[in-house]
């Protein structure tokens, strides 16, 4: 079957209502003011898909939204970035998900209403959909209750069909971290947590010990460590990439997803691991120069301009 797309993203879909420049953190029974508000495309998977498409990779998306204004906003946002949305399902039974983001410089607090995203199931991801692409990526498995129990089956099927695969687990709101790494990781080519997620998933508080534990699984993994850069294990060697430092961070929403997008963009071009890491670090840093997860990725020209003007990097 002809591959029409480079990447099939299976993931959650929601909007982000971002409140910036907040006077102080809210307290129960009290009101505080935010001096800036943005409604934008949210969800880790959608930010990844949108920014990956902006970089020039052909992306299609499988997810679920409601028949409402938020769903319309998501579709128009993805269309504007060139993401194929024909595999997105619409349900009248559930509203589109939404996240309220309280943004404080490089940190944030979030409240998410999952809505329709919780009802995407393995049955919604047909063999025909998988065969449209060369690569499968999934983010935020803990928010996708409908498909979570079948995550191993999904990735096993993708590998059997010849796709390469990647997953960014993201944070578990319940903090139970019930993900069977031993069953899942043999079917994952690139596992992409950040340091907090890695420590929680492995139950190991020391980063170096957690990295050593992950080596036992054999497959490649990437660990994002914010301003300290990122690590990669390829099955034989451990690599480290320094962060591109932005001294005027606007916000860090979606920075990890943008890292993933840059990394996978180069991975699909069969570039070296170090080049994948470097470009991921660059796109993650570019993300922090504008509001929201996609603000810095309006088009490829803007991405290149920010890379050159802010980080002295040309591509």
pLDDT tens-digit profile, the chain (315 residues): 678 999 999 999 999 898 988 888 888 999 989 998 989 898 999 999 999 999 999 999 999 999 999 999 999 999 999 999 999 999 999 999 999 988 776 567 889 899 999 999 999 999 999 999 999 999 999 999 999 999 999 999 999 999 999 999 999 999 999 999 999 999 999 999 999 999 999 999 999 999 999 998 878 999 999 989 999 999 889 999 999 999 998 888 899 999 999 999 999 999 999 999 999 999 999 999 998 889 999 999 999 999 999 999 999
On whether the CB atoms of residues 165 and 189 are closer than 8 A, the answer is yes
On whether the CB atoms of residues 284 and 256 are closer than 8 A, the answer is yes
Strand partners, 40: 16
> For 297, how many CA atoms within 13 A lie in the half-sphere containing its CB?
36
- Provide the H-helix boundaries in the chain: 44-54, 69-80, 127-130, 145-148, 151-160, 181-184, 195-202, 207-214, 255-267, 273-287, 300-311
Distance set, CA 135 to CA 55, 57, 221, 228 (Å): 16, 11, 16, 28
* Residues in Cβ contact with 273 at an 8 Å cutoff, skipping those fewer than 6 apart: 220, 232, 234, 239
Instruction: Retrieve residue 11's tokens.
Output: 């993931």
What gap in Å lies between CA 51 and CA 178, rounded to an integer? 29
Which of 313, 273, 268 has the alpha carbon at shortest distance from 289?
313
Is the full-model pTM beyond 0.85?
yes
pLDDT of 11: 94
Domain boundaries, the chain: 5-14+46-95+116-308
Pairing status of strand 14-22 against strand 107-113: unpaired
Residues of 181-192 as b/e, b for ≥16 C-beta within 10 angstroms? beebbebbbbbb
CATH architecture, domain defined by 5-14+46-95+116-308 = 3-Layer(aba) Sandwich (3.40)
Strand partners, 109: 102
- Phi first, then psi: give them for residue 33, nearest 5 degrees: -110, 140
Pairing status of strand 97-104 against strand 107-113: antiparallel
Instruction: Retrieve residue 24's tokens.
Output: 């102080």
What gap in Å lies between CA 264 and CA 94, rounded to an integer? 32
On whether the CB atoms of residues 83 and 89 are closer than 8 A, the answer is no
pLDDT of 198: 97
pLDDT of 136: 98
Q: What angle is formed at CA 277 by the lines to CA 169 and CA 177, rounded to 5 degrees?
A: 15
């Amino acid at each position: 079957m002809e591959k029409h797309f480079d990447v099939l993203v299976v993931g959650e879909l929601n909007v982000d209502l971002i409140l910036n420049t907040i006077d102080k953190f809210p307290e129960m029974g009290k009101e505080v003011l935010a001096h800036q508000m943005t409604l934008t495309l949210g969800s880790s998977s959608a930010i990844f898909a949108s920014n990956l498409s902006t970089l020039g990779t052909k992306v299609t998306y499988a997810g679920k939204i409601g028949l409402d204004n938020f769903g319309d906003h998501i579709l128009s946002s993805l269309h504007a970035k060139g993401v194929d949305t024909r595999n997105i399902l619409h349900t009248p039974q559930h509203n589109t998900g939404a996240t309220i983001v309280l943004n404080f410089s490089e940190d944030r607090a979030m409240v998410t209403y999952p809505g329709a995203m919780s009802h995407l199931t393995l049955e919604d991801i047909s063999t025909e959909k998988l065969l449209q692409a060369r690569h499968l990526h999934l983010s935020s498995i803990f928010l996708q209750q409908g498909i979570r129990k079948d995550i191993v089956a999904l990735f096993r099927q993708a590998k059997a069909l010849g796709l390469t695969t990647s997953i960014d687990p993201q944070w578990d709101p319940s903090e139970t971290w019930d993900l069977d790494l031993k069953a899942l990781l043999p079917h994952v080519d690139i596992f992409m947590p950040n340091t907090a997620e890695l420590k929680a998933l492995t139950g190991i508080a020391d980063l170096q010990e957690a990295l050593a534990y992950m080596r036992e699984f054999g497959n490649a993994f990437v660990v994002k460590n914010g301003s300290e850069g990122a690590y990669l294990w390829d099955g034989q060697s451990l690599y480290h990439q320094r962060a591109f430092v932005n001294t005027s961070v606007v916000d860090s929403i979606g920075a990890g997803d943008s890292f993933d997008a840059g990394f996978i963009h180069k991975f699909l071009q069969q570039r070296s691991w170090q080049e994948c890491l470097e470009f991921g670090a660059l796109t993650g840093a570019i993300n922090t120069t504008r509001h929201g997860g996609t603000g810095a990725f309006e088009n490829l020209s803007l991405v290149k301009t920010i890379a050159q003007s802010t980080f002295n990097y040309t591509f």
